[in-house]
Structure 1
Amino acid sequence: MKLRVLGCSGGIGGRDQRTTALLVDDDVLIDAGTGVGDLEFEELVRIDHIFVTHAHLDHIAMIPLLVDTVGEARSMPIVVHATAETLRILRSHIFNWLVWPDFSSIPDRHNPFLCFQEMRVDEVAKLGRGRFMKALPALHTVPAVAYQLSGEGGSLVFSGDTAYSEPLIAAINEIPDLRYLLVETAFPDALHDLALASRHLCPSLLALFLERIKSNPEVWITHLKPSRARTTLEEIAGYCGRFSPKALYNGLELTL
């Protein structure tokens, strides 16, 4: 099983700045930010599942365009998995016939291009081929989850957008085969108060978070704000510890 980074930036600007989207093999997305737009049509058609961490635009922007682009070329609907709160936001504010058509009723409700599947924290979705996706607790300004992706080669955790979260740390510490931890750090320490208010991590909060992790996964940093990325990474590197976090980048492939 392979996970390919399509987008991991906290903003846009230039070819390297795409918002959050991770492609699992060729048929599963974790979030669907602007990075999805770099896929070819033939790749888009193969996407069967989208697991959404939360409803903010940088994580869901390409869902409406993806469904509109490939709906008629597929024999089955694309399934969007998310918490009940996130699905309610998508239905009410995106697929509402005002911002975008409701593709869960196009061409009709019995044969839609899109369907929604509620996913609760701790629930596990079976994806076939020995792949599993589990929702983990996260803490953000809107209802949010992290995801644990598991296969024969171990597990990966993607934090999504989150503040320091004891429940998320506890969930991570229960994973015996954790190989990769993809964790957000949006702001430098100079914007510590903004990080707290917007429920994101900054380097000092990331250090506290990582100190509580009992295993030794590879740590990759995501959701860096483009204008502050270099400073944020320098501050992360300055914290002592057993981890040496690296910046996630578009095109990176991780294998499980």
Structure 2
Amino acid sequence: MRLKVLGCSGGIGGVQRTTSFLLGRHTLIDAGTGVGELSVAEMAQIDQVFLTHSHLDHIALLPLLIDTVGAMRSQPLTVYASAATLDALGKHIFNWQIWPDFRQIPSAAQPFMRFCALEVGESLTLPDKLTVTALPALHTVPAQGYQLDSGQGSLVFTGDTTVNDSLWPILNQMDALRGLIIETAFCNRERELAQASRHLCPAMLAVELAKLKRPTEVYITHLKPGEIELTMQEISEDAAAFHPKMLKNGQILEF
């Protein structure tokens, strides 16, 4: 199974795109501005989107994606997320004021989009045999990460999260953990901001990674565009034992 990075930045500017990953050909993990890297033909093949939470940098292009390809599809695009996230999308985005409610277009009986709740601990097996399991995350809004299990190995995306003791025992039980994508949004001098906004800084990341007992590749996501070099330098110092690598747009991870 292949995961392509469409966007992995904590902001925009130049080539920076916010969080979205293409899983195979038919699945998106989050729908930030990285979705714009896809052609219309590629977007039309997306059957499901798994959202980690409702913040704009993770859902920004979902409304435009559905508007662009809805009429090209024979089946509605399914949006999976926690019930709390789906409720926020319904109230604040697909509400006829910010954007049309595509759960009702062209009709409620045959909509372009449907919502389906997937809560922490629940799993869904897709037609390509890949299993997606929602994992616990701690953020300023209800949030979750995802385990992507190809049957041969797993890739874990934490989503936006802060210190989260409930995550690591789950990861430590995975026999074939091929990679961990984990956020670090702020540099160490902004630790108070990281804590207030429920993100990580390099020092906090190092403490979290020390809870991981399985050897795996560690990839850093959600870096702020103006602090990429500084934050990665601090990560290389604070978490040197784990050899974290910066995730990059266009990168492909196989598992």
TM > 0.5 between the two? yes
Q: Which whole-Å deviations, capped at 9, do the CAs of 1:55-78 have from their partners, x for residues lacking one?
A: 000000010000000000000000
What is aligned with 2:138? 139
1:198 and 1:36 mapped to 2: Cα distance?
25
How do 1:112-191 residues align onto structure 2 when only pairs under 5 Å count?
112-191=111-190
SS in 2 for 1:166: coil
- Give the Cα separation in 1 of the matches to 2:106 and 2:19: 29
After TM superposition, what 4+ stretches of structure 1 lie above 4 angstroms from structure 2?
none
Cα distance change of structure 1 residues 223 and 240 upon mapping to structure 2, 3 Å threshold: closer
> Could you say which residue in structure 2 is the equivalent of 1:196?
195
Cα offset for 1:240?
A: 5.0
Query: Does the CA contact (< 8 Å) of 1:10 and 1:19 recur in 2?
Result: yes
Whether 1:246 aligns to 2:245 is yes
Q: 1:240 to 1:249 in 2, by over 3 A?
A: closer
Q: Which residue of 2 aligns with 1:72?
A: 71
* Residue of structure 1 equivalent to 2:11: 11
Q: Offset of 1:129 from its aligned partner?
A: 2.1
Alignment-derived partner of residue 2 in structure 1 = 2
Within 1, Cα distance between the matches of 2:238 and 2:162? 18
Provide the alpha-carbon RMSD of the alignment.
0.8
Aligned to 1:52: 51
| 128-137 vs 235-244, greater mean Cα deviation | 235-244
For residues 12 and 239 of structure 1, the distance between their equivalents in structure 2, rounded to whole angstroms, comes to 26
Letter in 1 for 2:2: K
Question: Would the aligned equivalents of 2:20 and 2:33 in 1 still touch at CA under 8 Å?
Answer: yes
Aligned length: 255
Structure 1, gaps ≥5 residues long: none
5+ residue gaps, structure 2, are none
Kindly tell me: are residues 229 and 71 of structure 1, through their superposed partners in 2, closer, same or farther at Cα, counting changes over 3 Å? same
CA distance in structure 1 between the aligned counterparts of 2:88 and 2:183, rounded to whole angstroms: 23
Matched residue SS, 1:161? coil
Residues 153, 255 of structure 1: 8 Å contact kept: no
Q: How far does the alpha carbon of each residue in 1:84-123 deviate from its partner, in whole angstroms, 9 at most, with x for none?
A: 1000000000000000000001000110000000011110
Partner of 2:213: 214
* Distance change >3 Å, CA 192–CA 107, structure 1 → 2: same
Provide the rounded CA distance (Å) in 2 between the counterparts of 1:218 and 1:109.
44
Identical positions, percent: 52
Q: Secondary structure at the match of 2:241?
A: coil
> Structure 2 length normalisation: TM-score?
0.99
- In structure 2, the CA distance between the partners of 1:239 and 1:70, relative to structure 1 (3 Å rule), is same
What is the distance in 2 between the residues matched to 1:82 and 1:88? 10
Partner amino acid for 2:9? S
Q: Which residue of 2 aligns with 1:95?
A: 94
Once the two structures are superposed, residues 157-193 of structure 1 have per-residue CA deviations (whole angstroms, 9 ceiling, x without a partner) of 0010000100112222221211100000000000000
Offset at residue 50 of structure 1 (A): 0.3
3-state DSSP of counterpart to 1:135: strand
The answer to whether the Cα contact below 8 Å between 2:4 and 2:22 also exists between their aligned partners in 1 is yes
Are the equivalent residues in 1 in contact too, given 2:19–2:32 (CA < 8 A)?
Answer: yes
SS at match of 1:193: helix
Are 1:32 and 1:61, in contact at CA under 8 Å, matched by a contact in 2? yes
Aligned counterparts of 1:236 and 1:109: Cα–Cα separation in 2: 49
